[in-house]
Chain A
Amino acid sequence: MNENGKKVLEAEHLVKIYRRGSEEIPAVNDVSLSVEVGEFVSFVGPSGSGKTTLINILGCLDNPTSGRLVLADRTVVDNGEVLSESSLTKIRREIFGYIFQKFYLIPTLTVIENIMLPFTFYKKPGAENEVARIMKLMEIDHRKEHLPGQISGGEMQRVAIARALVNRPSILLADEPTGNLDTRRSQEIGGLLKGLNEKEGITIILVTHNPALASMADRIIEIRDGKIHTKGMALS
């Protein structure tokens, strides 16, 4: 999967501390890791372990208290100093595609309009030519004129994945993407993510409670109490 072992993400000593009055709660505690281009990494761990906070920091949705983060050779955080919001927006739109547990589709837009929604704000050159192919890949091309309320939960998550893919991101961040789906549909989504990683070479960082889904990754990182408990555990 890896393209000559080139790193797309490097994190060093990331710390995220939440304050509740005078109490300091470390959600992420001195985490260092790297992800290579084309890798499929999953984060697992119990609820409240800090895995979602970590993925949000890695995805530039949240800022760490301290540490260093480099994404595609761009230093995003250095010793806790974060880029401006506009620079972060630029990084988000150019590097990441995000999938969440909830699908966040706009109910009055059709499937194809929801998928193309990111183009309203930013469009990579030639990205519009990818829409049909991505819809076919996600097996939702026959639903393109339907509204979200007219399709199943599994299809909605496929639409959300397609929306995350239209601007050809380098990294797909998926936070509990099957949390709202039944076992069969979870497996389908897992298969799709694995396919995207293998066939399209997209780097995937996944947070999940689902062991079957986690096992599809090249590498599983277990987080406990904001720290990496088990790193680089490869499952087949």
Chain B
Amino acid sequence: MINIFNVAYKNLLRKKARSGLTVIGISLAAWVLVSLLGFNRGYESSLNRDIDNLGFQMIVTAKGCPYEAATLMLKGGTGLRYMPQSITEQITREPEVERITAMLMQAVFDPNKGESGGYSAYLGVDPATFPQMKSFLEFKQGNWFTNPDALEAVLGYEAAELEQREVGDLLLITEKNVEVKVVGILKRTGTQDDGTIFLPLNAVQKIFGINNELTGIGIKVKKEADIARFEEKMYKLPDVQVVSLSQVKQTIMTLVSTAKVMVFSIALIAILISVVGVINTILMSVMERLQEIGILKSMGATAWDIFKLIWLETLMLCISGGVIGSALAMATAKLTEILIRQLLPYSPSGGLVQITLPLVSLTFGVVIIIGILSGIYPSWKAGRVRPLEAIRSQVE
């Protein structure tokens, strides 16, 4: 038994190329929209996760560029300006502080790294406090350092892969010509810790000849503490700057927000183009079929029947485009992520493009609204045609 869905579907098949191109247009718009919404969601949650995995809510560094500091923090490092180690005692005395950990980051040029050499970064951490703050870190092999002064290293998962080292192997710190023994390799965390080489703080100070100086202090604040008030107190310390992780997040989100606005504008343009494309396709189809519409009216079709038929055709195009576009976005999520990583100044670890069911549903909703809106005018135009005018339209 024939029904209106069948008629609408078969009408679309009459001009396959035109219908196909319209569906492609909508698919591309849906693809862009799903990918962007997925990126928006993925980027923020990955950034939050990176920040949570730092194990502390606040970092104190020597005064310098806050943007540089924020980026270096998230890359597992600290600002390469120094502050006196004695400052740790001052900070520890504050009642809001639950725990602190001192860090010293150093980098040396390694001519054997990559094709034309590269920098290797070493993060000196306090063996007494750092593992406590990062209690979520798990070892693939070995453990933390045997003593606070040992010439030992713990490698992040990717650092171990890159250096091709296992527990018991030696690792040469070029320029300083010092070898350290690998005592532990961490499991993959999906954070910047994966690429970090950890050494005891004292060992880094000794190897690099930097006594009683630090590049950063990680602070874990007590749960009940007033963080804003504590930040104010920290600002009063001389020659240091305080970077709270909410600030870090804010800084990075500001950096990417311009890019996001631009990309969302592109998505909006893509959607507008697809809306115009749909209206054009359906309107052309209505004009070409005026006589048929007249015949349908002579058969007893009401204006509403014709409106429904044309509207249904529009919705079918949009839904097909929505399905294809969403599937395409899911299939190419990894590729999109790779492209986005190339473009962004800083991208957190973990999935940058997270396409979820609610997100696909949202896109579907948008596509259906596009269908409903873009179908209104052609459907209304077709519905109000008088049968005789329509039948005569192409005869004359």
Task: Point out residues on A near B: beta carbons under 8 Å.
Answer: 56, 59, 61-62, 85-86, 89-90, 92-94, 96, 98, 100, 102, 104, 106-109, 113, 116-122, 128, 163, 167
Contact = CB atoms under 8 A, between A and B. Distances in A.
Interface residues of B, number: 27
Count chain B CB atoms within 10 A of each CB in A107, A163, A167 and give the residue with the most.
A107
Nearest to A175: B391
B300 A108 contact: no
B256 interface: no
Interface stretch (B4-12, B105-113, B148-156, B191-199): B4-12
B2 A109 contact: yes
20 contacts: A56-B388, A61-B387, A61-B388, A85-B386, A89-B300, A93-B300, A98-B298, A102-B291, A106-B7, A107-B14, A108-B11, A109-B7, A113-B6, A117-B2, A117-B7, A117-B296, A120-B301, A121-B299, A122-B299, A122-B301
A116 B301 CA distance: 13
A59 B391 CA distance: 14
Nearest to B16: A108
A163 to B, nearest CB: 8
B295 interface: yes
Contact of A120 (B3, B295, B386): B3
Given A56-B388, A61-B387, A118 B300 contact: yes
A104 B291 contact: yes
Given A98-B295, A108-B10, A117-B2, 10 more contacts: A62-B388, A89-B302, A92-B387, A93-B299, A96-B298, A106-B7, A119-B2, A120-B301, A122-B299, A128-B1
A117 B303 CA distance: 16
B300 A100 contact: no
B297 interface: yes
Contact of A89 (B4, B291, B297): B297
A185 B7 CA distance: 29
Contacts of B391: 61, 100
B296 A121 contact: yes
Given A117-B2, A119-B2, A108 B13 contact: yes
A113 B7 CA distance: 9
Count chain B CB atoms within 10 A of each CB in A61, A104, A121, A122 and give the residue with the most.
A121
B292 interface: yes
A15 to B, nearest CB: 17
B300 A106 contact: no
Contacts of B7: 106, 109, 117, 120
Given A116-B2, A120-B7, A104 B300 contact: no
B26 to A, nearest CB: 21
Count chain A CB atoms within 10 A of each CB in B4, B298, B301, B395 and give the residue with the most.
B298
Given A56-B388, A61-B387, A118 B292 contact: no
A163 B299 CA distance: 9
A90 B395 CA distance: 26
A116 B10 CA distance: 14
A127 B6 CA distance: 20
Count chain A CB atoms within 10 A of each CB in B4, B291, B388 and give the residue with the most.
B388
A85 B4 CA distance: 22
A152 B300 CA distance: 27
Contacts of A61: 298, 387-388, 391
A109 B10 contact: yes
B305 interface: yes
Contacts of A119: 1-2
Contact of A121 (B13, B301, B386, B388): B301
Contacts of A90: 300
Contacts of B291: 102, 104
A107 B7 CA distance: 11
Nearest to A164: B299
A83 to B, nearest CB: 14
A121 B7 CA distance: 11
A121 B299 CA distance: 8
Contacts of B2: 109, 113, 116-117, 119-120
B85 to A, nearest CB: 82
Given A61-B387, A61-B391, A121 B292 contact: no
B387 A117 contact: no
A100 B296 contact: no
Contacts of B1: 116, 119, 128
Contacts of B395: 102
Contact of A117 (B14, B299, B302): B299
A122 B300 contact: yes
Nearest to B298: A98
Contacts of A59: 298
A106 B7 CA distance: 9
